Amino acid sequence: MKTKLLLIFLIVLIVFSCKSGKELSEKKFYVESYGDRYRIMFYNVENLFDPENDPDKNDDEFTPEGARFWTEYRKNEKLKNIYKVITAIGEWDLPMIVGLCEVENRRVLEQLISYTPLHKSDYNIIHYESPDFRGIDVALLYRKSLFTPINHNIIRIVWPSHLGTGTTRDVLYVWGRTVDGDTLHFYVNHWPSRYAGQMETEEKRMYVASLVKKHTDSVFSVHPNAKIIILGDLNDHPTDKSVAEVLKAQLQIDKIVPNKLYNLTYYVEKYKGKGSHKHDGMWGILDQIIVSGALLDTTQNLYTRPEYADVFDADFLLEPDDKFTGKRVFRTYIGFKYHGGFSDHLPVFLDLKQKLND
């Protein structure tokens, strides 16, 4: 009897030791591999205005006396919410790159990284004032310890005569190097809205797509293996003409060519069943991440894969949809009524993997 008990005890001890060793090994691997990725995110933050009236912008709606009664308190609450999203997406570490759209000016970006706990981070700002009639711009935040810009400028959108007059957001182009020496090219976009109707505004989005395509082609002409990442609210879906036919962002990710573009958020929509924006009860991907084929080459030191892209749909960004089924995005406003949420879009993100030295 004692022999049997001793045998059972030894078996349990061996099993427990093996299990503990396996858990320790997995935990150790995770900790060691923690530093092998760079996280990139994009977020349409929905009307990040400051309350001060700018006479050169159509921002009267977002002032204390305006239709939305936009105050310092409400702006500060929105900054806190954006900070929460950035840190939550970062998980163990803050994203290296944060692409943003619908920001009014550099001041609100400085407040975001100075007046929230992000002041402990090493984020820096790249931002240009665009001629958009509402006064909203795109911007890029980068961590100085992980990324060094080499150059940055804008692609200014000037409509040809057949598209009429009016203004829209510039496209921001940033070229730089990671701390490990890999060169990356970023494009931050916010293409013209569908507000006047999809078909009525489609040509304008196609025109912006043509300018981005022309610019990426010029980069490829000099650097055929350029690692390009296009981020943005394109106000079109991956299968729409502007994205699939004009920008030529491939939907099928099989025969990879370094100097072609591939839409990773189409993969998210098709295979993960996710969307970044809900309209009339239907989720869709308007916020997209598109990369060059060179980044999909897993033999390179820096690479990515379709499954490394995702929509960040944490519970705190959603609420029950009282009009349609399921959940909807937890917004700052519903109509003109202050709701205290985050945005009408969900963020999207992508991991770039850095091979560790043996």
Structure tokens at 28: 């150790």
Alpha carbons 245 and 209: distance in angstroms, whole number: 9
- Say what the pLDDT of residue 3 is: 46
Structure tokens at 55: 């006479």
pTM of the predicted model over 0.85: yes
Domain that holds residue 237: 37-354
> Does residue 233 sit within a domain?
yes
> Does residue 11 sit within a domain?
no
> Does residue 9 sit within a domain?
no
Residue found by looking up tokens 């705190």 in the block: 316
- Provide the 3-class DSSP secondary structure of residue 230: strand
Nearest Cα residue to 146 out of 95, 185, 81? 95
Structural domains of the chain, count: 1
> Does residue 163 sit within a domain?
yes
- pLDDT 10s digits, 145-184: 999 999 999 999 999 999 988 899 999 999 999 999 999 9
Alpha carbons 85 and 100: distance in angstroms, whole number: 12
- Provide the 3-class DSSP secondary structure of residue 1: coil
Confirm if 81 and 342 have CB atoms less than 8 A apart.
Answer: yes
Measure the N-to-C terminal CA separation of the chain; round to a whole number of Å.
Answer: 51
Structure tokens at 328: 């909807």
Please tell me what DSSP assigns to residue 117. Answer: G
91 pLDDT band, cuts 50/70/90, is: confident
Alpha carbons 145 and 109: distance in angstroms, whole number: 19
CATH code of residue 234: 3.60.10.10
> Does residue 7 sit within a domain?
no
> Does residue 277 sit within a domain?
yes
- pLDDT 10s digits, 247-304: 999 999 888 999 999 999 999 999 999 999 999 999 999 999 999 999 999 999 999 9
> Does residue 99 sit within a domain?
yes
CA 289 to chain CA centroid, Å, is 7
> Does residue 326 sit within a domain?
yes
- Say what the pLDDT of residue 172 is: 98
Q: Is 93 exposed, middle or buried (0-12, 13-18, 19+ CB in 10 A)?
A: middle
